[in-house]
Structure 1
Amino acid sequence: MPIQRLALPPWHKRQATLLYHYASLEYLKGLLSLIDEWIAFTDRLLDERSGLDATGLAHVNWKPTSTAAHFSTYAYAAMVDFRESVVRQIAKRSFERYSGAAEGQCERMLREYAGYPDSMLWMTHEQQAEFKERAEETFKYAGEITSFMQRPCNVDDGGFWERWMSKRALFPRLPRFRVRTDVEAETDKPPPRTGVYVPQEDPYAALQFAWTGGYGELGPACTFNEIGRDALAAVGREGLWGDEAGLFRFANQQEYKGIITSLGDPVEEAWEAPGAVAAASFEEKPCKWYFVEMINDEYEDHDGTYAGTGEVAEPKSRVPAGEPVPQSGFWHTPARAGSRRYFKQGDTFPKIEGSDYGATFWMWSSDQSDPKL
């Protein structure tokens, strides 16, 4: 029987927050804005430097590939293609279709045809530096879409930790989520709804985003292997993946020497340990998944860490009237037929007056579907 989990552990809440952020239409439109600013900057450079090609070819021994004209013909066209690809992706979102951002093709074209990042002779050194900075910012931004939308998605717990630690300032509060045990999916099959999914039986496997508009199947769950579980036991959940000293000691235990390595060599510096241990800590398994629904306009405070503080406790599934609601979602009471209704976390469960059932107890509904949808 799958575990009927009502709440996500803290690290899964962070993962769900990141996935919905990077999959959002707002984030994709932000990429279009970055590309437009980059292209506008490049347009200005081409206008300013267009008269230098003849001088460079005649007096500085430029090759034809070193000119602004060559850049405009080949590399600039790749930038425009990149932009058009993002415009198409924005249009496809209305059909619930997602994909990587295609930044890799643009970067390859710049390297092949323009000498990117350091040999674009028709620019000044200052212009090259700014062009490179804008390009790297755009490619990095786009790369987050590609990381989570490529099939199969292979972002593991260490990858989520790294992103959370660099982006957590964007999320002063976390959205509230509910695990929809009535919406199930399977690895390698199209999901029934577009959104985030959590493995049914593994609290440490990474979440994934999947969609219904084609080629959006869930991949195998990426979870801890034996080394990963041993690392977890050694440094605790809060020590993954930032406890350099603890992970260094773990990596240098006799049983792991030669297995946990940094670029093929023994881990000799503490700063190498997190990456080396993470590289050896995961495996993939097919599984069944539950849909993770983001609740509109509901948020919760958090401590900023990835693992969260304290033990992860499951909310009560049977709560007497008069007590606060432990988890947003649909609840019902046997004290009244047809009592199923939605409560927000923190609301107070009402008492059913005049019931022959006796004391009123509210129970988590196994059906979390919204009748309005």
Structure 2
Amino acid sequence: MQSAPFELSQSQKIQVTLLYLYASFDYLKELRLKLQGLMVAVDPTLDLSKMQRRNSLITASQRGAREMSENWRNDACSILMHFERSVEGQMTERASDSFSITIANECERSLREISLAWMTPDEQDNFDNQFQAISWHARQLDDTVSQHQRAGRWDDFSLMLAASECKHDIDRADSLRLRPDILGVSGTTPARTGVYLPLDDPYGTPQFCWTGNPQGVLLDCNTFNELGLEALASIGRDDLWINKSRMLEFARRHANDPRLTQDPFFDDSISDEDLAPSLVARNAFTNRSCRWMYVEQIHGALKN
């Protein structure tokens, strides 16, 4: 095999590892388990509501049948079961190397229309927390395989945020190897299913693509624009996005820069170190067509 033109940086290893994680069959299977866990957890709450005759209290207060537990049992349970069946269908499609986004957004919109008034405040909080965890899990998968935009959904900033939630998975991930013999170009279907890195842009965000039907083509590359490159040079790779005080300092140095001042949340963010990283990130990227190189995951070989 020919030698690769560059070595994987630590940040590239982390980003590639995350995309392989989110596109994995185990990750999809975990989504189904989370959905099943939520449905199982709601059953005792429904039973308790019936035993305590909460529906009669709702009727007495004239709030209407839409706020009763039976309405939730009939409608919301059907929505969650539809979500679960959809995930099971996606699991079946993986056998033919086919990937697609989940129906998590559709499910969440539908559930918002169904009242939780029959639950106690604590029960509502527990349900909301569990479903938000499911939504976050599904969103990582969706952002990895979505083909509904010109460039990939992920960028350097969003993958940094994701990495902070997946440190354990990153630490025990398989080793990676660049494959300069397997190349691709934006707008075409790759030769192999997997993660691809920009060949001619060291700061470009990797993409996961696939060969099944429908195909997952290589989209344009998300990469730093001039402001992003300035932030990288000023703050450094290790501190970029993570060091809030340095990010705030950088933003303040550009307090009169129209690249930041035109941001709709500029006034709220320019003096807040928690918001400064996202202020810069929202204005730090561009996208372009490029050449791509396949990054192979070597199963069973732990990374350094």
The question of a shared fold, defined as TM-score above 0.5 by the shorter chain, is answered with yes
2:303 to 300, 303, 308: 300
Q: Which residue of 2 aligns with 1:366?
A: none
CA distance in 2, matches of 1:271, 1:255: 16
Q: Which residue of 1 aligns with 2:153?
A: 154
Q: Which residue of 2 aligns with 1:233?
A: 233
Q: Which residue of 2 aligns with 1:279?
A: 282
Q: Which residue of 1 aligns with 2:81?
A: 80
Q: Which residue of 1 aligns with 2:11?
A: 11
Q: Is 2:205 aligned against 1:206?
A: yes
CA distance in 2, matches of 1:258, 1:168: 36
Q: Which residue of 2 aligns with 1:61?
A: 62
TM-aligned CA deviation for residue 56 of structure 1: 3.0
What secondary structure does 1:46 align onto?
helix
Q: Which has the larger radius of gyration?
A: 1
Q: Aligned pair in 2 of structure 1 residues 253, 121: CA closer, same or farther (>3 Å)?
A: same
Matches within 5 A, 1:99-138: 99-112=100-113, 114-115=114-115, 120-138=116-134
TM-aligned CA deviation for residue 4 of structure 1: 4.4
Structure 1 residues 158-210: Cα deviation after superposition (integer angstroms, max 9, x where no partner): 01111112211333344221111111112122111110000111110000100
In structure 1, stretches of 5+ residues that fail to align are 302-373
CA distance in 2, matches of 1:243, 1:129: 32
What secondary structure does 2:82 align onto?
helix
Task: Please tell me the residue identity of whatever aligns with 1:257.
Answer: D
Asked whether the 8 Å contact 2:182–2:293 carries over to 1, the reply is yes
Task: Please tell me the residue identity of whatever aligns with 2:227.
Answer: I
Taking structure 1 as the reference length, what is the TM-score of the superposition?
0.74
CA distance in 2, matches of 1:202, 1:146: 24
Identify the structure with bigger relative contact order (alpha carbons < 8 Å, sequence gap 6+): 2
Q: Which residue of 2 aligns with 1:142?
A: 138
Structure 1 segments (4+ residues) deviating >6 Å? none
Q: Which residue of 2 aligns with 1:290?
A: 293
CA distance in 2, matches of 1:79, 1:99: 18
TM-aligned CA deviation for residue 48 of structure 1: 3.1
TM-aligned CA deviation for residue 6 of structure 1: 4.6
Structure 1 residues 19-38: Cα deviation after superposition (integer angstroms, max 9, x where no partner): 11111101111111111111
Matches within 5 A, 1:307-318: none
Q: Aligned pair in 2 of structure 1 residues 233, 169: CA closer, same or farther (>3 Å)?
A: same
Matches within 5 A, 1:340-359: none
Q: Aligned pair in 2 of structure 1 residues 210, 136: CA closer, same or farther (>3 Å)?
A: same
**Which has the larger helix fraction?**
2
Asked whether the 8 Å contact 2:235–2:246 carries over to 1, the reply is yes
Q: Aligned pair in 2 of structure 1 residues 222, 163: CA closer, same or farther (>3 Å)?
A: same
Asked whether the 8 Å contact 1:5–1:179 carries over to 2, the reply is no
Q: Which residue of 1 aligns with 2:187?
A: 188
What secondary structure does 1:239 align onto?
coil
Structure 1 residues 334-363: Cα deviation after superposition (integer angstroms, max 9, x where no partner): xxxxxxxxxxxxxxxxxxxxxxxxxxxxxx
CA distance in 2, matches of 1:165, 1:250: 22
Asked whether the 8 Å contact 1:224–1:282 carries over to 2, the reply is yes
Task: Please tell me the residue identity of whatever aligns with 1:288.
Answer: R
Q: Is 2:273 aligned against 1:270?
A: yes
Asked whether the 8 Å contact 1:46–1:68 carries over to 2, the reply is yes
Asked whether the 8 Å contact 1:251–1:257 carries over to 2, the reply is no
Q: Which residue of 1 aligns with 2:93?
A: 92
Asked whether the 8 Å contact 1:6–1:178 carries over to 2, the reply is no
Q: Which residue of 1 aligns with 2:48?
A: 48
Q: Is 2:216 aligned against 1:216?
A: yes
Structure 1 residues 282-312: Cα deviation after superposition (integer angstroms, max 9, x where no partner): 00001111111011222233xxxxxxxxxxx
Q: Aligned pair in 2 of structure 1 residues 177, 53: CA closer, same or farther (>3 Å)?
A: same
Instruction: Give the % identical residues.
Output: 29
TM-aligned CA deviation for residue 92 of structure 1: 0.4
Aligned residues: 294
TM-aligned CA deviation for residue 47 of structure 1: 3.0
CA distance in 1, matches of 2:136, 2:145: 14
What secondary structure does 2:174 align onto?
strand
What secondary structure does 1:183 align onto?
strand
CA distance in 1, matches of 2:257, 2:168: 37
CA distance in 2, matches of 1:102, 1:58: 33
